[in-house]
Structure 1
Amino acid sequence: MSKGGLAATAITLALIAAPVSAQQRKPPYYASIAASEARMRTGPGRNYPVNWVYVRADLPIRVIDIYRDWRKVESADGTSGWMQVGLLSDRRTGIVQGGITELRESADAGARVAWRVAPGVVGRIIGCARGWCRIDIKGRGGYIEQARLWGVAPDEDVD
């Protein structure tokens, strides 16, 4: 095999192994759906029936159990089932819950409102501390009260 072929093989193996190694934490923990289509199954194997199909990448999920390369996950609405680890990402995301929520320019309830988001909007979590999270929603950033997001624990700091 040529040097280029070996390098390509090494890169491919690293990319395949990255999601698996990244998902070896002790549950429960938050992650997100990496695939644009992800099947949730009733058990940890392809022989189990599909009970839900997610067609929206970046949705936050909570990993609640591990069995080999399968993760038992729970979504924001409480639906639970099993997904293959390769369908998941360590990328932290959150889904806005409750009513229309204000994103602020800084992590302060008195800060200027940058814009408003509706329930169900998903954003990438940049970081969380002291009850506020900085999120990015399609290139627009702001700070949101941590309690308004599902995908991060109430007292969790995210770097």
Structure 2
Amino acid sequence: MNSKRLIPLLLTAAAVLLPFAAGSAPQAAPAFNHDWKKGRETGFPIPRFVSLKAAKAHMRVGPSLDYATSYVYSARGLPLEITEEYGHWRRVRDEDGSTGWMFAPLLSSRRTAVVGPWHKKPVNLRADPSSDARTVAKLAAKVRLDLSHCDGDWCRAALQDRRLTGFVRQIDLWGVYPGETFD
């Protein structure tokens, strides 16, 4: 094996093994395809989901305070999808498909979701990650949830306004990609 190919291989191995040597296992990675675009500012995958950190945030037409406000959000914990990065600004999309630019410090990496706005009937919050598990609650479309874990099929979720917890099928949520995993 030539040295040009050996060095990247050794660096990759070191990056994988270093967390174990430090005494902690790496967290599960999102199910992002290796071909996904990386953000030009952060290097994180584009698109990706985040949540609204601020109690009040302006979505703007462009990436600057000089641009007009298109929407004002006052829903802390609202999931948003980042679709582009420009300096300290992020182009985001909400569950209704509205897009615009937000100042990055208004956003959080904390994972949240809403029950899919496409649902006409309530979605079940289950006691366990199984379609046969006891129903804890019935959730209407657009109900906001805090997510603590997703395994690609089910997400552990808690209602944002109550501490009611359970599991929701991942395909019933907007704010997490199909097959995505995280802890």
Q: TM-score range by the shorter chain?
A: 0.7 to 0.9
Runs of 5+ in structure 2 lacking a partner? 1-40
Alpha-carbon deviation of 1:158?
1.8
Alignment match of 2:104 (pick from 85, 88, 92): 85
Structure 1 segments of 4+ aligned residues over 6 angstroms from their partners? none
Give the AA of the match of 2:123: T
Measured against aligned partners, the alpha-carbon deviations of 1:26-71 in whole angstroms (never above 9, x if no partner) come to 3111000011111000000000000011111100000000000000
Alignment match of 1:133 (pick from 149, 152, 155): 155
Q: TM-score, normalised by structure 2?
A: 0.73
Q: Distance in 2 between matches of 1:107 and 1:130?
A: 11
Higher alpha-carbon Rg = 2
1:28 counterpart = 2:28: no
Give secondary structure in 2 for the equivalent of 1:147: helix
Q: TM-score, normalised by structure 1?
A: 0.83
Q: How many residues are matched?
A: 137
Task: Give 1:122's aligned residue.
Answer: 144
Q: Distance in 2 between matches of 1:27 and 1:35?
A: 22
How much identity, in percent, do the aligned residues show?
35
Alpha-carbon deviation of 1:130?
3.6
Task: Give 1:51's aligned residue.
Answer: 70
Task: Give 1:149's aligned residue.
Answer: 173
Flag the 1:122–1:59 CA change in 2: closer, same or farther, 3 A.
same
